[in-house]
Amino acid sequence: MREGKNCPWWKKSVVYQVYPRSFQDSNGDGIGDLNGIIQRLDYLQELGIDAIWLSPVCKSPQDDNGYDISDYQDIDPMFGTLQDMERLIEEANKHHIKIMIDLVLNHSSDEHPWFLEAKKGRENPYHDYYVWRDGTEETPPNDMRAAFGGSAWEWVPEIEQYYFHQFSVKQPDLNWENPKLRQEIYEMINWWMQKGVGGFRLDVIDQIAKEPDQKITQNGPRLHEFIQELSRETFQKGDLITVGEAWGATTEIAKLYSNPDGSEFSMVFQFEHIGLDQQEGKEKWDLAPLPFLKLKKILERWQKELFQCGWNSLFWNNHDLPRIVSRWGNDKEYRTESAKMLAVLLHGMQGTPYIYQGEEIGMTNVKYAMEDYRDIETLNMYQERLEQGYEESDIMTSIYAKSRDNARTPMQWNDSLNAGFTEGMPWMKVNPNYKEINAESQRTDPDSIFYCYKTLIQLRKKYEVFAEGAFELLMPEHNQFFAYTRESQGEKLYVICNFSEKEAVCSLEENWKNMQILYSNYPESVDEKIYRPYEARMYLRCQ
């Protein structure tokens, strides 16, 4: 597969997400920072990734850990300086790694100068940069709720108006209807492009075209018009990787976001597969077992419907999701096997894989006491449900399973104090299992999860079929196997995974002996039809 219009470089790339405050502290204040990331570039190059998606490092009061930006063109002192950022971009480039910035464009911080001006008066030129409605102190414009709890409307007595916020009160929504605001955003993005960033991740981009009077949050009527203008004014001037976070994307909508004509983004980051273990129509905290056959169906549908007319991201984890090995694997007896199985299953598919920091060493969820949680979403939900009369133990069960803090515990580098993350007091407790689970021990073990990821990244670069092959699901009704093929130009890849902790017998009638085994997470077996707990294999047949 050659590079070119139909095969841009990011189709063969793997992205690694860094959550800066939890990655590596370099100055002992207990918070990860940009210089810490620079120190770890050798590690990331060894893993083989192509780009880092950097969660927000811009100036921010940190109400939502940086997803509340008060200056889009400066770095929060907690993470370093603009010079550190420039050095990170430069050093990363030397390691053949591009830096993708997290653009939070749906809302700003309420401490952003635009908002400080906006709330001064209705005549202020910045007033219209945000979404305001009249009302009285007692009656908000409607009953819309914010994602982190409470009303989506906040009363500002000085000007007797409400502003709209889909997330916390400190994250007022920006008004994309205002062309001046859009222009300022484009200028800011072009400025980052000139600094040499390699791409962008667009935070909750499907929510920018809100219509609160119609109670529309996602997929508003002008959404794609706005995105196309954004893309034209910025991204299309460079050879970038861009990814839009879209919780509300269907495959049809995803084809717009990731249209191969390049009119919007490179790819979409959608969540249909990831929300399956919750009760239908309820919140993520209302747990349900994973419907395995449905998981297969959904992933199959995305593979098929985007084939040659869109591009997807492949992920199990990010900073908002629990650790996959604890969620759909087994983080006890079969931690290594199941972590590798999940990696193999995902990395064989079409799309651009994303690895979230610590996933490559099999980091797990935590069970902390309430005072050790930090996430605004978790803290607000805890209060809200207590007030609604939920049992505390039930609330904690939900938190253990789904809290975003599961992903945000410090990266486990080695078995020294605080897992080598900081010499100070970490901003959030380190997972107590760091003595066993850490990057150093993974790197000295050739059979580790780390080397599984490394191999998978190399395979994607070596064989065209990973980027190009057409997908077919095998054994769709089997309740242990998740198996599929990918086929293109004489190469056929088989990915066969036992997604369970019981042995399973594979009934596929292929001549496995004549195929090349690309990867297996177990030593060779006597009977190749038998798959041990969480066993995963990749075979390649060439014509």
Q: What residues line the site for ligand GLC (CB under 6 A)?
A: 64, 67, 104, 167, 203-204, 245, 319-320
Nearer CB in complex with ligand GLC: 15/495: 15
394 assigned to active site: no
Q: What type of residue is 224? A: H
Binding mask 119-158 for Ca ion (x = CB under 5 A): ----------------------------------------
Cβ proximity to ligand GLC: between 253 and 437 the closer is: 253
**Known active-site residue 203:** yes
Q: Which of ligand GLC, Ca ion, none lies near 419, with the C-beta cut-off 5 to 8 A by kind?
A: none
- Residue closer to ligand GLC (CB basis): 48 or 199: 199
Give the separation between CA 412 and CA 410, rounded to whole angstroms: 6
Number of residue whose CB is nearest ligand GLC:
67
Does residue 395 sit in helix, strand or coil?
helix
Residue 104 CA to residue 69 CA, distance in Å, equals: 7
d(CA 26, CA 24): 6
Residue 33 contact partner, candidates ligand GLC, Ca ion, none, CB within 5 to 8 A by sort of partner: Ca ion
Residue 504: CB atoms within 10 A of its CB come to 21
Q: Which of Ca ion, ligand GLC, none does 203 bind, CB closer than 5 to 8 A by kind?
A: ligand GLC
Q: Considering the complex, what minimum distance in angstroms separates the CB of residue 405 from Ca ion?
A: 19
Q: Which of 203, 264, 277, 360 is catalytic?
A: 203
CA dist., res. 421 & res. 415, Å (int): 10
Q: Which of 68, 84, 206, 245 is catalytic?
A: 245
Q: Which residue has the tokens 């990266």?
A: 411
For residues 388 and 49, the answer to whether their CB atoms sit within 8 Å is: no
Residues 13-72 that bind Ca ion (CB under 5 A): 25, 27, 29, 31, 33
Nearest to 448 by CA among 46, 95, 37, 42: 46
Q: Which long-range contacts (CB under 8 A, 24 or more apart) does 155-158 make?
A: 156/119, 158/119, 158/120
Residue in 345, 372, 350, 364 with CA at minimum distance from that of residue 465: 350
For residue 420, is it left (φ>0), alpha (ψ between -120 and 50) or beta? left
- Report if residue 76 touches Ca ion, rule: CB under 5 A: no
Shortest separation between residue 374's beta carbon and ligand GLC, angstroms: 13
Question: Which listed option, Ca ion, ligand GLC, none, makes contact with residue 15 (CB within 5 to 8 Å by class)?
Answer: none
Task: Report the nearest approach of ligand GLC to the CB of residue 171 (Å).
Answer: 6
> How many CB atoms neighbour CB 336 within 10 A?
21
Is 506 a binding residue for Ca ion by CB under 5 A? The answer is: no
Active site residues: 203, 245
Task: By CB under 5 A, name the binding residues for Ca ion.
Answer: 25, 27, 29, 31, 33
